[in-house]
Structures are given as C-alpha cells and as structure tokens.
Amino acid sequence: MKIVVHTDDAEQWRAALSKALPNATVVTSDAPEEARQNADYLAVWKAPAHLLKEQTQLKGIINLGAGVDYLLSTPGLPVDVPIVKLRDAGMGELMADYVLYGVLHFYRSMDCYADQQTSAEWQPQRVVDKADWPVGVLGLGAIGAYVASALQQAGFPVLGWSRSPKTIKGVQCLHGDEGLDELLSQVQSVVAILPDTPATQGILNAERLAKLPQGASVINPGRGSLIDEQALLEALGDNDQPGHLRGALLDVFCEEPLPAGNPLWQHPRVIVTPHMAAPTPLNDAIDQVISYLHAFEAGETLTIVNSSQGY
Ligand code: NDP
C-alpha cells in the first residue's frame, strides 16, 4: 500500500503512519515525482492540484480535517474516488474550548471590562443567570454536536440547528428554515459550526442577523463564507452609533489571511483569531486515519463525503 501525505506537519504524519503500518510505503508530497506516483491513498489537507491530477490508481482520499470545501474545489480532484474526512478526532474538544471562551467572554462582560479599562473605569456588570442566556449552535455534526453538549454541560440552555432532525441530550434540536428563525430569535450568542457549501454560503445575512435579539453576539469558527461580513459590520455599528449586535468572535473569514485593510481588524467589538479554533491533533486523529485505511483495504462500507451536498 502506498500513501502520499500532504499537510502542514506532513513529516510527523509520515513518521506516525510508517510506524503504525510497517508494510506500507508512506511518502510526503515533496518526495520526487516518481516516489509520489501510483499512490493507493492520499492523506491530505489543502493538497495542491498537481498532487491530485498526477495520481492514476487512487483507492481513496482521506481529508486530514473536518472541512472538505478546499478539497472539493481543487481542480483535478478525481470524481470517482471516495473521500472520507475526519470526524471529531479530537477537534470537538478544541472547538468546545474555543466556543466556551467566546460565550463566557460575552456572558461575563469581558468585552465591557476591556472597554472600561481604556478609561480606568471600575464598574462591575450584573451577572445574569445562565438559564437566561441561551446559546444557539448552527451545525450539529461531529464537532457541532460535541460543542452543543459542552455548552449544555456548562449550564447554558442550548438550541441546535441542522439540515436533518437530530436528538442530542439536553439540547433543543431544530431544523429547516423555521427552526433557524426560531433559534435566532431566542439566543444571546449564535455559534456557526456549519460546513461551507452552496446551501450555507451567506446563511447569516443581514435579514437573519436582524432576527437575533438586541445585544446578541456572533461566534464563527465554521467558515468565513457563512456570514455576510458587510452585513455583520453594519449590524455591529460603531462606537458612535452602536448597532443591534454586541460583538463577534471570528476565527474564519471570506479571505484568509484576513487582509490588513479589512475593517474587522479594527472593530472595537470584534475579536479576530487566525483560523486556529480546532487544528487537527495528530495524536487523536491518527487512529481514525489508520482505521479508514484498514476499512478501505477490507472493502468495508465507509461514510463518504457527499460531493454534491458539499460536506
Ligand atoms: P459535519 O460534516 O460532521 O457536520 C456538519 C453539520 O452541518 C451537520 O449537522 C449538517 O446537518 C449541518 N449542515 C450542513 N448543511 C446544512 C444546511 N444547509 N442547513 C442546515 N444544516 C446543515 O462537520 P463537523 O461538525 O465535523 O465540522 C463542521 C465545520 O466546522 C467544518 O465543515 C469546518 O468548516 C469547520 N471547522 C473549523 C475548524 C477551525 O479550526 N476553525 C476546525 C474544524 C472544523 P446534518 O447533520 O443534517 O447532515
């Protein structure tokens, strides 16, 4: 079995896969062309088009992350090769940490204290009951469901939304357009953990952001395309004329890296992080990759990425 690896920490992945599969040939994508060719499997994150185009006998592609938007839009992606993606694989816990940080930031008025500190103002803010601070999670997949449960266990009422109906203990699960409107009208923070697909692009547009209650906040570690950034800026307003949204914690953007001139960088109530919410943890993910390889080799039925749905 030959596997070609392409990701930021490809050498660590190559070493870990070689150790776990001593009979396999594992090479990184910067190996000479003849060593890369005729791979059985690609284990990749943001693979260059040439790596996909040059393969002739692939049996499967393993996406070393949860989002497949980049892979699906890479020219040269073979149409008939099954793709599997990482499901949770340690990313749920990292994402839950990130989202909890964001929710607590707004819930415990850390945004107000940062503002007050600029003028040495000593003014404790009232702490409302968590029961009065519902949080909405858009996307209840492997990571979204983990985050929804973590928020619920932290004491927040949680409303979740997905394409198909779901049951998650302690979470009010909604679906469909009406479900989305219901969720948005009730939550103090909305968290977007949806994939980037034709159906989700711009889902948080001006109209939907306006459905959030006055003073709500937006947390987006999903994909930048989910939010209309201009509509978000307008809903936030500025210090002279605050809008109806209180603030935002954003990890992902329509253009990454976020260009220096983008007004989101300068907005006093926006926190920008550089797409770091839940990087794939190799030690947690390696077992899942190995089990995918064994399952492919054994001809087992795998849950593969649905290219037409885009996730
Ligand atoms: P999954 O594929 O497991 O789940 C996706 C969820 O989104 C499912 O619940 C699905 O609904 C729902 N969904 C998809 N399309 C729609 C739609 N049109 N309307 C309503 N719901 C929809 O993904 P993960 O949970 O593993 O990851 C989610 C996303 O998080 C990734 O695609 C990626 O973009 C992002 N991510 C970001 C990271 C970061 O560091 N910033 C790290 C990891 C992931 P259903 O269950 O009905 O199919």
In tens, the pLDDT along 84-143 reads 999 999 999 999 999 999 999 999 999 999 999 999 999 999 999 999 999 999 999 999
* Under 8 Å between Cβ of 225 and 195: no
Query: Residue 143, Cα to own-chain centre: how many angstroms?
Result: 8
Q: Is 102 in the pocket of ligand 1 (CB under 6 A)?
A: no
Residue 91 CA to residue 143 CA, distance in Å, equals 7
| Residues counted in the chain | 311
For residue 230, what pLDDT band results from cuts at 50, 70 and 90?
Answer: very high
- Residue ranges covered by each domain of the chain: 2-89+280-298, 91-272
State what percent of residues in the chain have pLDDT above 70.
Answer: 100
With tokens 């190995």, the residue in question is 290
Average pLDDT over every residue of 25-50 = 97
Residue 171 CA to residue 140 CA, distance in Å, equals 10
Give the model confidence (pLDDT) of 132-148 as tens digits.
999 999 999 999 999 99
- Strands 189-192 and 135-138 turn out to be parallel
Give the model confidence (pLDDT) of 281-302 as tens digits.
999 999 999 999 999 999 999 9
**How much of the chain is in helix, strand and coil states, percent to nearest 5?**
35, 20, 45
Known catalytic residue at 244: no
Helices (H), 108-240: 110-117, 142-153, 176-186, 206-209, 229-236
Give the model confidence (pLDDT) of 166-193 as tens digits.
999 999 999 999 999 999 999 999 999 9
Residue 34 CA to residue 112 CA, distance in Å, equals 59
- CATH match for 2-89+280-298 among 3.10.150.10, 3.40.50.720, 3.40.640.10, 3.10.20.30: 3.40.50.720
Q: Compute the mean pLDDT over every residue in the chain, rounded to the nearest whole number.
A: 98
Q: Is 220 in the pocket of ligand 1 (CB under 6 A)?
A: no
Q: Is 90 in the pocket of ligand 1 (CB under 6 A)?
A: no
Of 88, 131, 83, 89, give the one whose Cα is nearest residue 107.
131
Known catalytic residue at 105: no
Give me the catalytic one of 223, 246, 267, 269: 223
Please tell me if the domain spanning 2-89+280-298 has the same topology as the one spanning 91-272: yes
Contacts (Cβ under 8 Å, ≥6 apart) of 119: none
Note every long-range contact of 101-105, with CB atoms under 8 Å and residues 24 or more positions apart, other chains counting.
Answer: 101/249, 102/189, 102/191, 102/217, 102/219, 102/249, 102/271, 103/135, 103/151, 103/154, 103/156, 103/189, 103/191, 103/219, 105/249, 105/271
306 three-state secondary structure? coil
Asked whether the predicted pLDDT for residue 239 surpasses 90, the reply is no
Phi, psi of 44, rounded to the nearest 5 degrees: -140, 150
Q: Is 143 in the pocket of ligand 1 (CB under 6 A)?
A: yes
CATH architecture of residue range(s) 91-272: 3-Layer(aba) Sandwich (3.40)
CA-closest residue to ligand 1 atom 5: 141
Could you identify the atom of ligand 1 that is nearest to the CA of residue 175?
20
Residue 170 CA to residue 222 CA, distance in Å, equals 23
